[in-house]
A = this chain, B = another copy of it.
Amino acid sequence: MQTIGHLINGERVAEDTRTQEVINPSTNQLEARVCLASKATVETAIAAAEAAYPAWRAVPPIKRARIMFRLKDLLEQNANKICHLLTCEHGKVLNDAMGELQRGIENVEYVCSLPELLKGEHCRDVGPAIDSWSEFQPLGVCAGITPFNFPAMVPLWMWPMAVACGNTFVLKPSERDPSAALFIAQLGLEAGIPAGVLNVVNGDKEAVDTLLTDPRVQAVSFVGSTPVAKYIYATGCAAGKRVQAFGGAKNHALIMPDADLDNAASALMGAAYGSCGERCMAISVAVVVGEQAADALIDKLKTQIATLKVGDGRDTANDMGPLISSAHLEKVTGYVTRGVEEGAELVVDGRGLVVDGFEQGNYLGASLFDRVKPGMAIHADEIFGPVLCVMRVDTMEQAMEIINNHEYGNGTCIFTRDGEAARYFADNIKVGMVGINVPLPVPVAYHSFGGWKQSLFGDLHAYGPDSVRFYTKRKTITQRWPASDVREGAQFAFPSNR
């Protein structure tokens, strides 16, 4: 039985007394045990990062960027191995794992633009013979705390940019599926990141709290659920740090009567049931304008659900794998039951699914509710499972009101052919990431990821341009040189360009 430890100062260490089981969700069998770092272990990692910082900061940005070019190559060369780790520990099907990894690689590609991204602003003659410029200097030690649902991608949102900007890093991946993040971090070292610059600690709340309160940690990036995001934001900020904390979601698709319904249905299938709905950008609600469109959409979805293949992720014929844990299966199943109790119409019931050969797996079939109403728990809560709710409204304004009134504001999309409808929606919807006929509007790596309302605490989004700003601090320099023939008297007034 493998014990998964930490990566500290370039070494694999596994000396903690507390461990936790890592379970294959397709079989519910034990895959490995993961160490849960004590406060002392985390402090060792922070100390390693602190010690590595001065030398790393002095490496020219282009040389730091070149390590990212090599990391991209290594990720591509090791893609199959990484995806296998993802499937065994998270359960998602291999093809989906490959999509996740590719998105992570795209973040690394963007980081290769570092010399362009780090450019500061220079002004000649802000006053007579006075120049001023701003540099974006690294922060020091940064930390990342990442969720179970994208074990490879979300860490790659964070540390490649942070490290390339000249920071050192301590990553705490999800303890449920830690292996991919750890393996990728080792590829980072192989690509040329010096020991101590990138560290990984596995752990639970003890590790998290250490990262949030240790004064050597300058910045914390977090992705997870909203209650934890709020805790991270409040705790890290109370300790004086900069924090960005990404929380939960309830993403609505708005289906207009003029939409291409075949496309919309196909798009919803993937967006609702892909990765078993365990994505913060999953579409879990379809708001349909008009009864006719709703009826047609329900029909198309039923037809497609009937052919959906659910099973072990290593079998590439499958579309959907198991949920992450038996406890989560129970929770999601409970929501299906509750939806029925609340009066929603359960069009397709995924409960009770048994997959041949994987009878112990955390399987739930795709589930579809119709006539869901605001106020029902299945609409209010983030279920994080393969449950799609259809809501019926008469007008676009009603649909937008439902979306705008929801506490979350991560992603949303509209299906329409009409330019005016799309523009009105995109402009006025209170959601940070908007798709127009694009069901999962995850921004590409050269834009930034972030929701609004209870989906994000902080001001700068993840990856892309915002992440450069998050992982650097501005230093502004104002310079003049004394000429030998210049002698000036004291100026008691506040200096300005009058």
Contacts and interface: CB of A to CB of B under 8 A. Distances in A.
Interface of A: 58, 60-63, 65-66, 69, 72-73, 93, 95-96, 98-100, 102-103, 106, 109-110, 112-113, 115-135, 137, 153, 219, 230, 233-234, 237-238, 240, 242-243, 259-260, 262-263, 265-267, 269-270, 273-275, 279, 304, 319-320, 416-420, 422-424, 426-427, 431-438, 440-450, 452, 454, 457-461, 465-466, 469-470, 473-484, 486-498
A357 to B, nearest CB: 21
Nearest to A126: B444
A267 B230 CA distance: 47
B116 A490 contact: no
A263 to B, nearest CB: 5
A133 B133 contact: yes
Contacts of A489: 266
A292 B180 CA distance: 61
Contacts of A123: 61, 115, 118-120, 444, 446-447
A121 B447 CA distance: 8
Contact of A448 (B134, B233, B269, B417): B134
A121 B119 contact: yes
A445 B474 CA distance: 15
A102 B441 CA distance: 39
Contacts of A442: 478, 494-495
Pairs A-B, 5 closest by C-beta atoms: A99-B494, A420-B481, A237-B237, A113-B113, A269-B490
A86 to B, nearest CB: 11
A418 to B, nearest CB: 6
Given A62-B444, A238-B238, A470 B476 contact: no
> Which of A66, A460, A473, A481 counts the most chain B CB atoms within 10 A?
A481
Nearest to A99: B494
A421 to B, nearest CB: 8
B62 A240 contact: no
B493 A98 contact: yes
14 contacts: A61-B125, A62-B444, A63-B497, A66-B109, A109-B112, A116-B117, A132-B444, A134-B443, A240-B454, A263-B482, A269-B492, A432-B475, A450-B473, A459-B460
Nearest to A72: B69
Nearest to A435: B478
Nearest to A247: B240
Nearest to A116: B113
> Which of A433, A459, A489 counts the most chain B CB atoms within 10 A?
A459
A99 to B, nearest CB: 3
Given A69-B109, A433-B476, 14 more contacts: A106-B497, A126-B444, A129-B427, A132-B447, A237-B243, A260-B482, A269-B492, A417-B420, A418-B419, A432-B475, A434-B478, A435-B479, A436-B477, A469-B469
A58 B128 contact: yes
A443 B132 contact: yes
A441 B446 CA distance: 29
Nearest to A413: B478
A102 B436 contact: no
Contact of A474 (B133, B238, B448, B492): B448
Contact of A121 (B122, B470, B496): B122
Given A238-B234, A489-B266, A494-B274, A420 B99 contact: no
A119 B119 CA distance: 11
A329 B204 CA distance: 52
A240 B454 CA distance: 8
A98 B62 CA distance: 18
A442 B130 CA distance: 13
A240 B420 contact: no
Nearest to A114: B113
A390 B287 CA distance: 43
A275 to B, nearest CB: 7
A460 to B, nearest CB: 6
Contact of A447 (B100, B134, B435, B488): B134
Contacts of A131: 423
Given A122-B134, A262-B487, A459-B459, A419 B440 contact: no
